[in-house]
Amino acid sequence: MIELKDARKTFNAGKPDEFMAIRGINLSIEANKATVLKGPSGSGKTTLLSLIGCMARPTSGRIWVLGKEITSLPERFLTEIRRKTFGFIFQQLNLIRGITTLENVMLPAYPLGGAYSSIKKRALLLLDLLDIAPKANSRVERLSGGEAQRVTIARALMNDPAVIIADEATAHLDTELTLEFLEILGKLKDDGKTLLLASHDPLVYESKVVDRVVNLRDGNIAEKGE
Amino acid sequence: MKSWIDRQRNIIDYTLSSLLRRKRKNAALYIVYTLVVFLLASVIFFTHSLKKEGALVLKEAPEMVVQRIVAGRHELIPVSYLDKIKNIPGVSAATGRLWGYYYDPISGANYTLMVSEDSPLSSGRIEIGEGVSRARLAFEGDTLEFRTYDGSIIELEVSGLISAESALVSSDLILMTEDDFRRLFGISEELATDLVLRVGNPRELSVIALKIAELLPDTRQILRDEILRTYDAVFDWRGGLLLVILSGGLLAFIIFAWDKASGLSAEERREIGILKAVGWETSDVIQAKFWEGLVVSLSAFSTGILLGYAHVFFTAAKLFEPVLKGWAVLYPHFKLTPFVDGSQLASLFFLSVVPYTVATIIPSWRAAIVDPDTVMR
């Protein structure tokens, strides 16, 4: 489903603080499976997720998503693929403060041009599925940590993407909430979603939901990885 | 097309919620913005209407005035000059006019005294402008005293007020009979203040003026168009004066608006990053910011224009009265007829709404072209 060939990512190229975050990764990710990128801080997990999720372009190498090469696509096409193929759950949640839970969930669908009423209907349905419908009209800053986490999941599912990318999504959750989060991921996998997670939380990479663990170290797949 | 409209609607919907989130910032901006547009619109409406009003009043004015000049100074003109002027081909009518300024120490104001051709006044009676009436608390039936050229006093009875429609030029006016005027200023029958004439074909005006200059070298010819131009200049100058005063405020507003519109807070940058990360394109973010800028500036512009209109045409420009109206002590009290110049409104629009909207877009564009993965860090 997702294929990387000798993917490299260098930040601040040509400057004194040049830093190579990804150093030639070859990786293949299967559909309908849960894959965890595991590794210490600075190992390149987040950078790899952003390359796969069409959020950034590799400095060199090639990446295919659903059989289509995305390496050198212009921003507009990259965005198109990103919003239709990927749903993101971020470590920092990244909800927009000051607007309601419902509006936050609806955001990814706005640029697609669907009717407002149908976008709203779908958002409410997702909030209902995640047991957070009663908070639809609450401002996100008034939600508890677990509620906010579920809002980000609902937002990630808004455009019905094939792949859910979660970057250290349990970093701020306690054990109970982490298990609840994993349970939701399990359901999503059962629904046919591909899950790609970055985590160094044992609760996540040792979970039965996870099919495969890829070890990263210093921007590459560790020798003993997978 | 429907998809495009839906997309715009969705983005506008988000923009409106976004505006409501920053209520204080946007309300402050809206108020200051409205105030500036209100002041500018008031000046524009006022000067333009005043000029129009002046032009309307002067439409009936004679096409040419002939004055006698002695040593570069206006001097009384012999009525006998009329014979020579009437003989010039193209002159359809010519007549002598009597008018002059009179300083009234009681009110401290200058009045314009004039002999009325049309008014059926009888000797010893006058008609006064509303400004004179206010200054002297004089109404129909009252008597006003005037000191004549030789120091003696004459009393003239007010027979009525000059109609208010022409208050722009009649506020300080006093109409009287020829006899009373000559008695007051000590002007003999052979002299007039100036001569006015009408011509059959307005295109011949300059030729006739040249002929008069040749025949009567001690005269100068003033065409109606020149008077109109002077009026224009006077009101433009007044408008300009006010604009100079306003420009300080305007500059402060530009700095304020630029700062508010162009400076993105860390929160706004983060928001743009989130929008991009959840699938918004750079162009979607710019559109949202465009709508945001447009909503603020267009609503402030419309409110400012409406308030300016109400201020000028319903309250007779109460705030600007001392600066803009009249050039005598007697400010006319009158309501302007609404004249709105589309091109001036358009320039105000392009000088306020457009730069503001652009000012909101540019920093957002700069924030939005950053890779969306920045929010992941």
Q: Are residues B242 and B351 in the same domain?
A: yes
CATH number at B108 reads 2.40.40.20
Q: Are residues B235 and B168 in the same domain?
A: no
Task: Tell me how close the Cα of A159 comes to any Cα of chain B, in angstroms.
Answer: 10
A83/B278 touch (CB, cutoff 8 Å), yes or no: yes
The pLDDT, as a whole number, for residue A223 is 60
Region label for B21, one of left (φ > 0), alpha (ψ between -120 and 50) or beta (otherwise): alpha
Nearest to A28 by CA among A169, A194, A193: A194
What ipTM score was computed for the predicted complex, to two decimals?
0.88
**DSSP helix/strand/coil, B233:** helix
| Residue B77 maps to a domain | no
B274/A83 touch (CB, cutoff 8 Å), yes or no: no
Q: Where are the beta strands (DSSP E) in B116-229?
A: 125-128, 143-147, 153-161, 173-176, 191-192, 194-199, 219-223
Q: Does pLDDT of A61 surpass 90?
A: yes
| Residue B254 maps to a domain | yes
Q: Which of A22, A101, A110, A121 to mutate: most B Cβ within 10 Å?
A: A110
**What is the total count of domains within chain B?**
2
> B168 near B50, Cβ under 8 Å?
yes
Q: Are residues B236 and B321 in the same domain?
A: yes
How many C-alpha atoms does B117 have within 13 Å on its Cβ side?
A: 8
**Distance (Å, rounded) from C-alpha B43 to C-alpha B49?**
10
> Cβ neighbours of residue B160 under 8 Å, at least 6 residues apart?
B127, B140
**Which single residue is written with the structure tokens 């400076």?**
B263
Average pLDDT of the segment spanning B15-27: 85
The pLDDT, as a whole number, for residue B210 is 92
Domains of chain A by range and CATH?
2-98+161-221 (3.40.50.300)
Structure confidence by residue, pLDDT tens digits, B173-200: 899 999 999 999 999 999 999 999 988 8
Return the percentage of chain B with pLDDT > 70, whole number. 88
Q: What is the pTM (predicted TM-score) of this model?
A: 0.69
> Cβ neighbours of residue B4 under 8 Å, at least 6 residues apart?
A113
The pLDDT, as a whole number, for residue B316 is 75
A107/B14 touch (CB, cutoff 8 Å), yes or no: yes
Return the percentage of chain B with pLDDT > 90, whole number. 25
Average pLDDT of the segment spanning B311-323: 78
Q: Where are the beta strands (DSSP E) in chain A?
A: 2-11, 19-29, 34-38, 60-65, 68-69, 86-89, 163-167, 194-198, 212-217, 220-221
**Token couple for A101:** 């839970």
Q: Which chain B positions have a beta carbon within 8 Å of A103's beta carbon?
A: 14, 17
The pLDDT, as a whole number, for residue B79 is 92
The pLDDT, as a whole number, for residue B233 is 74
Average pLDDT of the segment spanning A175-193: 89
Average pLDDT of the segment spanning B203-211: 90
B375/A90 touch (CB, cutoff 8 Å), yes or no: yes
The pLDDT, as a whole number, for residue A225 is 47
Q: Are residues B109 and B24 in the same domain?
A: no
pLDDT, chain B, mean:
83
* Dihedral of the alpha carbons of B320, B325, B330, B333, in degrees to the nearest 10: -80
Structure confidence by residue, pLDDT tens digits, A2-11: 999 999 999 8
Q: Which of A29-43, B9-23, B320-334 has the lowest mean pLDDT?
A: B320-334
Task: Tell me how close the Cα of B269 comes to any Cα of chain A, in angstroms.
Answer: 11
B1 — contact with chain A (CB < 8 Å)? no
Structure confidence by residue, pLDDT tens digits, B87-118: 999 898 899 999 999 998 888 888 999 998 77
**Distance (Å, rounded) from C-alpha A115 to C-alpha B236?**
52
Residue ranges of B 246-305 with Cβ closer than 8 A to chain A: 267, 270-271, 273-284
Average pLDDT of the segment spanning B211-215: 92
A155/B278 touch (CB, cutoff 8 Å), yes or no: yes
B7 — contact with chain A (CB < 8 Å)? yes
* Dihedral of the alpha carbons of A153, A158, A163, A169, in degrees to the nearest 10: -20
Residue of A nearest to B283 (CA): A76
Average pLDDT of the segment spanning B355-372: 78
The pLDDT, as a whole number, for residue B162 is 82
**Distance (Å, rounded) from C-alpha A134 to C-alpha B152?**
95
Average pLDDT of the segment spanning B273-291: 87
Nearest to B35 by CA among B288, B212, B252, B215: B252
Res. B61 pLDDT band, cuts 50 70 90: confident
| Residue B296 maps to a domain | yes
The whole domain housing B53 covers 2-58+230-376
Q: Which of A76, A94, A103 to mutate: most B Cβ within 10 Å?
A: A94
Q: Are residues B130 and B265 in the same domain?
A: no
B10/A110 touch (CB, cutoff 8 Å), yes or no: yes
